Each structure stands twice: as structure tokens, then as C-alpha cells.
Structure 1
Amino acid sequence: MAGRAQTPRLDAAAFRALYGRVGRPATGGRGDRGALETITPDRVVAAAREVRSGRQVSLAAPVETHPGPDNPEPAGHRMTGAVAGTIDPSGLQFARDHFDMNIHGDADSHLDALCHVIYDGTLHGGADASSVTPQGAEALSVALVRDGIVGRGVLLDVPRLRGVPWLEPGEQVSADELARAEAAQGVRVGRGDLLFVRVGHRRRRTELGAWESATARAGLHPGAMEFLAERGVAVLGSDGNNDAAPSAVEGVDFPVHVLAVHAMGVHLLDYLQFEELVPVCEQEGRWSFLCTVAPLRLPRATGSPVNPIAVF
């Protein structure tokens, strides 16, 4: 089994210094697409060359409609049209239903828009946080990705590296560990890539049951963001929250969210699931693929439910 990465705590000064090292220059622009600017047309064309077998795999978990310790506000689902007992044996009827959900919960797969993280009174790039109004976000909303995100996806499987089924709540992944996972899997993360980091959250939840993951979960150590900054990663996704809990930073509960979204302009994908993706990667003999992410066109929203698709 590989040794576990060291996860030192950071004081406020050390975190500020890290923020400065990984942050993009401030623009304050409402149309700033952040790190998505690294996904140029030529990179999309190159990513399309990842398609060889035509196999497709969802990276999303099923939307949950029942409460649990990590999901006190589950998505609501009710039928509004014809159902058993009301169906006319002749003529036309429609089955219909209604959904509502908390986009940023701790169970359902979702995308965080660049307006999601307010830090020191600003949004990414120095945009004024007052642009987030009671009617919605007027700047840096999910509308920035209305045309979708298409690029090369790369999965780094940290439990596989460590020789365990999953990381335990509270464990954190370092930059060095991401580099070692690359080497072990024979892949390299590059500029404009969609990086997916598996910590095994979904498998643990399936096998042991849900727990209060708001206070205890595996994730990236803030220092791991230097790896993403160095490689020019466009999007970061995980089968957990990306952030570990408890936090490694004094006074900042979600340091990876602050660094990724606010400092770097990296859209986050939280609570994905990779248990169907891993065996396909193993069968295909590679850990990179074409990936498409298509958020809903929600007006002025801070995020969206999402179903990323890997194509091999």
C-alpha cells in the first residue's frame, strides 16, 4: 500500500500566500469564463481523438428524493399527470411530473458556477459580489457555460494508488499524490483538461451507508491546487465535495472551493460518481477520454444539476 500523503494544516497567512500563487489576474469582468479559456477549439478537436471504441459512461449519481444524514433537503418529485388508477383506457393522456432540488447539497451531482463562491466580498476575478441579487446572479452565473463544456477528461484514482477501496472521511489528497497517481496510471494531466479525482466517497456511501458528510469527508488538500495551477486544468470534479472536512485551513471551511472557483476560475463538479467509470478505464487500458458536461440553461443560477458523459 502506498503511504498516505502528509496533510499539514495551514494558518491564515499560509493560505493567503497559496491563494496568491495559484490565482489568476483579476479582471472583474462579468463575462470572464475563468479557466475555461484554456479549452481552445484545437484542444476540443484533440479531445475528440480520444474516442476510439464509442463506449459512453455517465459520471453522475442518480438524483435522490429521500432524506438522509447527508441529504436533509432531498430533491422533490411528484407526479402531476396521469398515473395508475386515473388512466383512461381510450383517448390521449400524458404522464407528467415535477422536480425541485437544492442544487448545492451533499448528495446530488452538480456544477458550481463562478458566482457560487463569495470571498472577502468579491467573486472570481474581483467581480462585485453585489451582482448576486435576490433575483439571481447577474455576473458569472451558470449561463457562462450555456454551450456546455467539452474537453479531455482525466481520472486520477487515489484509492487505487493507496491500495484501498476508499479514503476515510477527513483524509486529504496532496499535490504529490496526484502526481504519483498520474505516474501509476500512465497518464498526464495537461492544459485545458477536465480533471476528475476519485476519493471513493460514493463507494463508501454505497457499502457502509450515508453519514453526515458535511462535517467529515475525504477531499483535496488545499496545497493540491498548485498541481492544478501548474498544469492549467480547466475543470475539477470529484466523487465527493472536492473539499475535505474538517478543513486544513484556519478560518476557511472550504479552501479548495475558494482556491478553485474564486482564485483560479475553475468550475467545480461536486458529488459525481466514478464506480462505473473505473472498470471501463481499466478495460480500455487508459484513464483519459472525451468528456461532455451540459448544465441546464437556468437563468442567473449559481450552479446546475449535471450529468457528465465520458466517451471512449
Structure 2
Amino acid sequence: MFLSSTSFAADFPVQKVGNSPWGEHDEIGRLNMMTPESRTGIMTRTDASKVYDLAVEYFVGMPSWQAAGDPHYQFWMTHTPRGAVVDNVLNMGHEVNRHVSYSGSAFSMYSHTGTHIDMFSHFGLDGKIYNHFSADQYLGDKGWQRSGAETVPPIIARGVLLDLPRAKGVNMLPDNYRVTPNDIKTVLASQNIELQKGDVVLIRTGRMQNFDNASTYMNNSPGLGMDAAIYLAEEANAMIIGADNLSFEAFPSEVSGNYVPVHTYLLTQMGVPILELVDLESLAHDQIYEFAFVAASLKLRGADAAPMRPIAFPIRK
């Protein structure tokens, strides 16, 4: 049984741009929580005999965000073996082109397509992003000059899976379900695990089971509520928070005058990066709830997000 998730929590504090405790020039927020000691500590506990790939595949027709007019993922061949023979673009001649088969391809997409990390330049408040970098001063024709995707360091940290459907005895959270702090506490108890400062917390809604059907995957997605975001950021001190859905947060908004309050709270106020479209199905199937999370994103200079290929190494028992 699910309690109604449509009632809104009252009177959230007004969101303000956050100051980084790592100084006025800091661009990576809580990613500063990683240290040589923390990275070494988690990696020395891992079992590398099995690796879990947490990234989705990219394909034409995949789920992606178009509501604001952003482009779909597109893929096309720029060279094919037969085309090389016909066009002879490299002037190699008929016989060479028939002998050497040449294939080439290209793709284009919105930066928030597939498994990716949202950085602080994705959303802001009153013209400023996290740590008070203003669009007027730092956003040029070639992207953000502060907190762009190129600033994201390789991530090695303790990862924790919160498998909400399993804890609730369902296959998938219902449409538009809003995850609460009590949901998180319940799943932690059921998995016999505790969150630690600096964790990468990954929330499974079960939505990834519909990934091959874009409309079913995207419409009316369950997601994180404001109270749960506050709990994970302020009480659990998570370093990164991610989920298996595209919207990350639940809609409609709980905050008047802000259509993405969870995003602006985490990214702009607290300096917590967000991961979206993380494939958690294999971890959930094997009931792997604690692991080493290892990932790196493309260093797209000035971008507000970047594709990421995360992997997980289970903790030795």
C-alpha cells in the first residue's frame, strides 16, 4: 500500500544561492569531499571479480528531454564500405576502397541525454549559480566559465543503492510518486545499511524497466520530493544524489514560483551534483546495496551537464 504523495509539505524556506565552504573560487561543491584517503579506503574493500555497468545505451528514439525544445539523440553514418567505393572521398581508388572497408559515424544530442551528471551551471537562482557565479559575468557564447562539466573530477566514492520498490514489495513506484524521508529510512532499515557522509546515493524507482519505451519511461515519473532531498543533503551529508529516472524530482512542484525546487536546492543552494538515468537494475537484481562507485564524465568545457559511464564494484563480504 502507498500513502498519497500528492499533498505538499508546507512552507519550505526560501531558496538562496549557496556559499561553498571550500572557498569563494570553488566550482565543484561537495565533490571536494573526496580525498586520497577516502578513495583508497573504498577501493581496498572492493571485489573486482564482478563489475556492474550503470550506464544506459544511446540509440535513436531513446528517452530524452524535449519539452523545452532540446534535440533528440541523433546518429548517422558518415562513411560506409559501399559509399567509400562509390564516392572515393580519399582518392584511394576503386580497388583499395573495395579492399579496405571504411565506416564512420557521427551523433548529436542534448547534454542531458542518457546517463549524465548535472553540474551547478544547469540551474541557478536570480541569475547566479552555486557559490555566487553570475551569468552576467561568467556565461559567454562558448558556455560557462565557472562550474562547467570540465571541472568534474573522476569520482571514486562509496555508493549506496536505495531500492524503494523492493522495500515496498512492488515492481515499480507508482506514477508521480513523491519519495519521502520515511521511504528512505524504511529502505535503509530493510537493507540493514546506513548512509555515511560523502556517499553517492542512488535511488531506484524501477522506472528503468521501461527505458526502451520512451513515452512510458518519461510520462508521470516518480521522483524525489523536497523533504527527501533535504534529508539526504543535510542529515545524511550525501556527496552526490542520483536516480534511475529522467526528471529526478517528482512533479508537480511543491514550491510556488519554482518549477524545479529539488534541482535548485541541491545544485544551487547545497552544491550537490545530480545523476540522472542511472541504470540500477543489475545492482537491484543481485541485491548489491553498498559498493565502490567509480565514474568519469566527458570534459565538455562550459557545459552544464555531461554524459557519464559509472560502474560499481561490490564491497567484499
Shorter chain as denominator, the TM-score bin is: 0.7 to 0.9
Question: How far is the alpha carbon of 1:50 from its aligned partner?
Answer: 3.6
Please tell me the residue identity of whatever aligns with 2:224: L
Cα distance in 1 between the residues matched to 2:3 and 2:19: 30
Q: Where in structure 2 are the equivalents of 1:1-312 lying within 5 Å? A: 3-4=2-3, 8-10=7-9, 14-17=11-14, 19=15, 29-66=24-61, 73-84=71-82, 86=84, 88-90=97-99, 92-105=100-113, 108-130=114-136, 131-145=138-152, 147-206=153-212, 209-211=213-215, 216-228=220-232, 229-240=234-245, 241-280=247-286, 282=287, 286-312=288-314
Cα distance in 2 between the residues matched to 1:8 and 1:125: 32
Q: Which moved more, 1:79-88 or 1:126-135?
A: 79-88
Q: Which moved more, 1:59-68 or 1:232-241?
A: 59-68
Q: 1:5 to 1:309 in 2, by over 3 A?
A: farther
Cα distance in 2 between the residues matched to 1:186 and 1:139: 40
Unmatched runs of 5 consecutive residues or more in structure 1: none
**Contact (CA 8 Å) 2:244, 2:280: kept in 1 or not?**
yes
Cα distance in 1 between the residues matched to 2:215 and 2:52: 27
Cα distance in 2 between the residues matched to 1:118 and 1:244: 19
Of all paired residues, the percent bearing the same amino acid is 26
Question: How far is the alpha carbon of 1:49 from its aligned partner?
Answer: 3.0
Cα distance in 2 between the residues matched to 1:194 and 1:69: 23
- Cα deviation 1:99-146 (Å, max 9, x = unaligned): 1111125xx22111111112122101222122122210100111211x
Cα distance in 1 between the residues matched to 2:298 and 2:63: 26
- SS of alignment partner, residue 276 of structure 1: helix
**Contact (CA 8 Å) 2:61, 2:214: kept in 1 or not?**
no
Relative to the length of structure 2, the TM-score reads 0.84
Q: 1:93 to 1:171 in 2, by over 3 A?
A: same
Q: Which moved more, 1:43-52 or 1:188-197?
A: 43-52
- SS of alignment partner, residue 61 of structure 1: coil
- Cα deviation 1:21-61 (Å, max 9, x = unaligned): x9655778343320112222221112113412521111111
Q: 1:83 to 1:237 in 2, by over 3 A?
A: farther
Q: 1:69 to 1:44 in 2, by over 3 A?
A: closer
Alignment coverage as a number of residue pairs: 297
Relative to the length of structure 1, the TM-score reads 0.85
**Contact (CA 8 Å) 1:60, 1:272: kept in 2 or not?**
yes
2:88 is aligned to none
Cα distance in 2 between the residues matched to 1:24 and 1:177: 30
- SS of alignment partner, residue 251 of structure 1: coil
**Contact (CA 8 Å) 1:60, 1:306: kept in 2 or not?**
yes
- SS of alignment partner, residue 16 of structure 1: coil
Greater Cα radius of gyration, structure 1 or 2: 2
**Contact (CA 8 Å) 2:26, 2:131: kept in 1 or not?**
no
